Amino acid sequence: MPGRLEPWAPAARRVLPAMRAWRMGFHQEPELSLHEERTREKVVRALTELNIPFTTFGDFPGVVGLVGGDRPGPVVALRADMDALPITEQTGLPFASKYPGRMHACGHDMHMACLLGAGAILSRSPRPLAGPVKLLFQPAEEEGNQGGALPMIERGCLEHPKVDYIVGQHVEPSVPLGRVAWGVGPFMAAADFFRLTVRGRGGHASTPHQGPDAIVVASEIVVGLQTLVSRIRDPLDPVVVSVGSVHGGTRNNILPDEVVLEGTVRTLNPTTRVTMEAALRRRVRAIAASVGARVRVEYRHGYPALVNHPGATRTVAAALGMEFGRDHAVEVDGPIMGAEDFSRYLERVPGTFLRLGVGISGRPASLHSATFAPDERALVVGAATLAAAAEGLQAGAR
């Protein structure tokens, strides 16, 4: 790419010791959504050491760094999430979480270290980029409802200077270490949540005919919800309905008068999203009414579907192909049904979300697992990916 003296990966390799130290610090002291105060302090300390100016918010633990704020070209934002999960770590790492019940089991510690690494190499480059680069350290991605992206947006993270493009990435065990996966269009699903409170008639297990039996009704609802997937929507339009929580009853010979079901509905198509909510409400009430039971339906929308901008994504993919080689910047076959509040940025600004490979043959790994331990060699690729993406977008806009 014109004007660059060398690829970004060698520069990222030089700051790998710092990225490892940052990552270890984040990993040892994980914090849950909207409680990332100490994490924010660590980010601020690192940005200060790198001489990168930053902004914080008194009532919210986000941080916005700014590299090259006086440059006239397009503004690119790079985002990393900050929060951990309520999981007790079982990795055996020497820098494992100090706190039982809290763990960076989704790689957000890696994301923050990569973003700091990108900030380091961008701010020290002998040939600075054409425009400013914002470093968004965002809390509460795992929160699932409002999340952290929307409060960041409301606090002006996409303004002053106004962001033209945005890029994010997430570690992905299914992608081999050393590769980065990209895709155009729908990339991740919208995730909505339901809570169903089934009311029957409690009593002795020997007289269920005096019902309705709330457990039987709830069981019929769990099975009935799956027909929404097989019979309501087009089979070529992906939908996932899952019940993840069932609570009811206190003893084997007592029929409870109430059972609570909680679950998610995941869709890619906005029209299907509306259709599925209406169909779920209708189906659940019909099942309950058919046996004389009652049900209260609570349904809330979570993150919207994440849709990668075609032009921005292809520009970034081309930049990554030049950085790592085309074999290491791979296009994915299709979307996944997980959700991400990075989607809220993409509703407002063209950009793309990438999958950073951390997969190693023979070493099984899963996000949100107590044993998740991504290889730190991915830090070099992650930092170089963000820097190359910012460069590519700014060069492509000229």
CA 380 to chain centre: 21
Phi/psi at 32 (nearest 5 deg)? -80, 170
**What angle separates helix 37-49 from helix 16-28, to the nearest 10 degrees?**
160
Of 303, 323, 340, 391, which one is the catalytic site residue? Answer: 303
Look up 376 and say whether it is catalytic. yes
Phi/psi at 322 (nearest 5 deg)? -70, -35
Element at 51 (helix H, strand E): none
How far is residue 113's CA from residue 24's CA, in Å, rounded to a whole number?
Answer: 9
> Residue 212, Cβ neighbours under 10 Å: how many?
21
Query: Any long-range contacts for 333-338 (C-beta under 8 Å, 24+ apart)?
Result: 334/183, 335/183, 335/185, 335/186, 335/187, 335/188, 335/189, 335/238, 335/268, 336/187, 336/188, 336/189, 337/188, 337/189, 337/238, 337/240, 337/266, 337/268, 338/188, 338/189, 338/191
Exposure on the CB side of residue 287, measured as CA atoms within 13 A = 27
Look up 303 and say whether it is catalytic. yes
* Encoded amino acid at 273, one letter: R
DSSP 236-267: TS-EEEEEEEEE--SSTTEE-SEEEEEEEEEE
How far is residue 42's CA from residue 113's CA, in Å, rounded to a whole number?
Answer: 11
Q: What is the CA radius of gyration of the chain?
A: 23
Residues annotated as catalytic are 303, 376
